[in-house]
């Protein structure tokens, strides 16, 4: 089995740089960001550690092949160039998905079928078998086509890495965990300061901040597709998981809290905090942000208020944005960090942000505003 794989860590637009920085910190010096993800090389153990520890990445793939293709024959040959017998025993359930954008090959369904046919044909030749029952573990393959550039990607994560395992019930418009972690990372908050989310919903920002500050690997409570890949049988997954668990800082004192006007959201937040095993570390209560008064002289507000598109009407949201400014004025030593898709956010808030960054919440283009 190969000891080094060319890998691709996919990321939401705007977060690629954060993923590359984190990869370098984790010991992958060749991490290089590009639109939509980061390339790097890693051993099987390294790939597992990335799945376990990366905070902002969507999925970790092995980049099995890459080339420009403008016909199905090109695609068939590209897939056939991958030594599938090194990855597959022949019993796996091969799950091919495809996404196509701005390319000659624009039918995901046909690209899926051609890819699957090519993989099976290759396995037939290399194993001499004619029947593949596909009743074993899942082996997910993604064919990603953009501007005719085709990438054949083996998905080592399985479900998206944002699915940490603590959020089993979603409130209205919850924030993806990877984006919540990024909002914390891009804010001026440091673990010795107070952090408060005045629109905490199901608690994602507060949970992600606490996990990161406590050194708790975000993937500790879930499994990854690669754990059942046959060439990775000898990787000591349990030991690596236990080692990662020991890296967390047990007696760290953090001041992380929040509130929301909706009692149902607060109930969910309390449940998620319990499921993330952070009871006693994150404090939540029902309270409208107009009634938030904090004693601490220094801290950071981070919040994901309604945008007006999905939750409530624009007028209510714009009044709420103004109330966020009043909240900041009641707390002069605090910074305010807000993500919103409303282009007139600064006008409603009543001030220009000191710093702005374009981010995507799902498909929604947003701006992250920071007021120091
Ligand atoms: C987009 S959601 C936040 C989602 C949250 N980040 C999560 O991950 O679940 C916006 C939240 O703002 C809350 N909200 C709306 N108006 C509020 C107000 N006046 N005071 C406090 N919270 C408010 C809503 O109840 C909702 O939970």
- Tell me which DSSP letter residue 175 carries: P
Contacts of 214 (CB under 8 A, 6+ apart): 248, 249, 252, 254, 281
pLDDT digit string (tens) for 29-80? 999 999 999 999 999 999 999 999 999 999 999 999 999 999 999 999 999 9
| CATH class entry, domain 5-155 | alpha beta
Domain ranges of the chain: 5-155, 177-217+249-371
CA proximity to 250, closest of 216, 274, 273, 284 = 216
pTM of the model: 0.95
pLDDT digit string (tens) for 316-352? 999 999 999 999 999 999 999 999 999 999 999 999 9
Query: In angstroms, rounded to a whole number, what is the distance separating the alpha carbons of residues 2 and 128?
Result: 23
Query: In angstroms, rounded to a whole number, what is the distance separating the alpha carbons of residues 354 and 258?
Result: 24
Is the pLDDT reported for residue 215 higher than 70? yes
Question: What residues does 358 pair with on adjacent strands?
Answer: 367
Of the residues 171, 173, 199, 210, which should be mutated to test ligand 1's pocket, given the most ligand atoms within 8 Å of the CB? 199
Nearest residue (by CA) to ligand 1, atom 18, is: 288
Of the residues 202, 261, 273, 284, which should be mutated to test ligand 1's pocket, given the most ligand atoms within 8 Å of the CB? 261
Query: In angstroms, rounded to a whole number, what is the distance separating the alpha carbons of residues 297 and 194?
Result: 9
Equal fold, 5-155 vs 177-217+249-371 = no
Query: In angstroms, rounded to a whole number, what is the distance separating the alpha carbons of residues 161 and 222?
Result: 9
CATH number (1.20.120.140, 3.40.50.150, 2.60.40.10, 3.20.20.70) of 177-217+249-371 reads 3.40.50.150
Query: In angstroms, rounded to a whole number, what is the distance separating the alpha carbons of residues 317 and 344?
Result: 11
* Contact call for residues 39 and 7 (beta carbons, < 8 A): yes
pLDDT digit string (tens) for 224-280? 999 999 999 999 999 999 999 999 887 789 999 999 999 999 999 999 999 999 999
Helix H or strand E segment including 190: none
pLDDT digit string (tens) for 128-151? 998 898 899 999 999 999 999 999
């Amino acid at each position: 089995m190969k000891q080094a794989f060319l890998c691709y860590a996919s990321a939401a637009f705007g977060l690629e740089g954060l993923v590359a920085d984190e990869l370098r910190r984790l010991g992958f010096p060749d991490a290089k960001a590009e639109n939509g993800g980061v390339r790097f090389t890693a051993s099987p153990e390294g790939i597992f550690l990335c799945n376990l520890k990366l905070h902002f990445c969507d999925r970790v793939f092995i980049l099995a092949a890459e080339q420009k293709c403008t016909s199905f024959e090109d695609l068939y040959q590209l897939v056939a160039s991958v030594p599938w017998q090194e990855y597959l025993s022949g019993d796996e359930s091969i799950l091919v998905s495809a996404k196509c954008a701005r390319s000659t090959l624009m039918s995901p369904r046909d690209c899926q079928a051609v890819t699957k046919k090519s993989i099976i044909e290759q396995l037939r030749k290399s194993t001499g078998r004619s029947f593949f029952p596909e009743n074993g573990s899942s082996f997910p393959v993604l064919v990603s086509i953009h501007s005719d550039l085709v990438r054949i990607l083996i998905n080592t994560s399985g479900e998206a890495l944002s699915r940490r395992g603590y959020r089993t019930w979603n409130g209205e418009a919850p924030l993806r965990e990877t984006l919540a972690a990024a909002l914390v990372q891009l804010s001026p908050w440091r673990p010795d300061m107070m952090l408060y989310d005045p629109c905490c919903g199901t608690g994602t920002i507060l949970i992600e901040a606490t996990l990161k500050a406590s050194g708790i690997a975000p993937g500790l409570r879930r499994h990854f597709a690669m754990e059942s890949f046959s060439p990775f049988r000898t990787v000591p997954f349990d030991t690596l998981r236990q080692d990662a668990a020991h890296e967390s800082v047990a007696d760290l004192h953090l001041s992380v809290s929040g509130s929301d006007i909706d009692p149902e959201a607060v109930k969910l937040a309390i449940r998620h905090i319990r499921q993330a095993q952070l009871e006693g570390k994150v404090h939540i209560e029902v309270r409208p942000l107009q009634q938030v008064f904090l004693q601490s002289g220094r801290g950071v507000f981070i919040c994901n208020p309604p945008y007006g598109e999905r939750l409530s009407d624009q007028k209510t949201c714009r009044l709420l944005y103004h109330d966020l400014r009043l909240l900041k004025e009641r707390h002069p030593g605090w910074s305010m960090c807000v993500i919103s898709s409303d282009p007139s956010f600064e006008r409603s808030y009543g001030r220009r942000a000191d710093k702005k960054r374009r981010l995507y919440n799902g498909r929604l283009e947003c701006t992250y505003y920071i007021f120091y």
